[in-house]
Amino acid sequence: MNAKLDRMDRLTGNEKVNGARVILDYKTGKANVGGWLGARPDEPQLPLYAVARDENAGGEVAAVAFARVKAGEMEFKGIAREEGLIPEVGTLVEQRSAAAKQYGSWEDLLSSWRRELEALGREFAAGEARVDPKDKRKLATCRYCEVKPLCRIYERYGAPADGDAGSGEPE
Ligand code: SF4
């Protein structure tokens, strides 16, 4: 699989962070850190970079973040191993998402990403094609999918009520 990383910086400054990497993904739209968390992450791109860098290319990864480049809304949103690596990017304990509470540490988060992504990769390689949307309650996963009549998702789980279908954005 080929994937292109937007930006990776190598940190310098003190003994603790020297050589560690931060991975950045530029975004003009909504940046949802919660999409990296929990089982079957909705936005696995940055976790994938972090795990690949951590494992294959050497150089410990110490933070991942979206860099929002929309005019008037410039900001970083992400997760860092420790404070002060990227402006306004906090550690796991500072995340608002309830899903962040399941990780005991930054290392635990990296290990979890590795497990989730390896499992997804194995399923893909094995041709796994179950009709098994992640969000079975609101079916937000299926909102923009055009093959609903073929997979008969509404027959399995029922059509979401008006206003309950969500925005299509991961939660
Ligand atoms: S509607 Fe699309 S995304 Fe949802 S279960 Fe069916 S094939 Fe998968």
Q: What is the best residue among 147, 155, 156 to mutate for testing ligand 1's pocket, by most ligand atoms within 8 Å of CB?
A: 147
In the predicted model, is pLDDT for residue 4 greater than 80? no
**Per-residue pLDDT, 54:** 61
Q: What local confidence, expressed as pLDDT, does residue 170 receive?
A: 40
For ligand 1, is residue 39 a contact (CB within 6 Å)?
A: no
User: Does the pLDDT value for residue 154 go beyond 80?
Assistant: yes
Residue 168 pLDDT > 50? no
Task: Give yes or no: residues 155 and 111 share one domain.
Answer: no
**With a 6 A CB cut-off, is 112 part of the ligand 1 pocket?**
no
Residue 5 has pLDDT above 90, yes or no: no
pLDDT score of 59 more than 90 = no
| Among the listed residues 115, 135, 122, the one whose alpha carbon sits nearest the alpha carbon of residue 47 | 115
Whether residue 103 is contained in a domain is answered as yes
Query: Do 142 and 120 belong together in one domain?
Result: no
* pLDDT computed for residue 48 by the predictor: 92
Could you read off the pLDDT of 35-46 as tens digits, one per residue? 999 999 988 999
Question: Residue 91 falls within a domain, yes or no?
Answer: yes
Of ligand 1's listed atoms, the one at least distance from the Cα of 148 is 1
Ligand 1 centre and the CA of 117: distance in Å? Answer: 20
**Residues 97 and 38 placed together within one structural domain of the fold:** yes
For the Cβ of 148 lying below 6 angstroms from any atom of ligand 1, the answer is: yes
Give the pLDDT of residue 8: 83
Any domain includes 60 = yes
Same domain, yes or no: 27 and 92: yes
Q: pLDDT at residue 169 above 70?
A: no
What is the span of the domain harbouring residue 154? 131-171
Is the same domain home to 44 and 114? yes
List, for residues 67-101, the tens digit of each pLDDT value. 998 888 899 999 999 988 899 999 999 998 888 99
2 inside domain: no
> How many structural domains comprise the chain?
2
Which residue out of 130, 138, 139, 141 has the highest number of ligand 1 atoms within 8 Å of its CB and is therefore the one to mutate?
A: 141
Read off the pLDDT of residues 97-132 as tens digits, 9 standing for 90 and up: 888 999 999 999 999 999 999 999 999 899 988 899
Q: Are residues 149 and 109 in the same domain?
A: no
- Cβ of 153 less than 6 Å from ligand 1: yes
pLDDT bucket at 7, cuts 50 / 70 / 90: confident
- Atom of ligand 1 lying closest to residue 141 CA: 3
69 lines ligand 1 (CB under 6 A): no
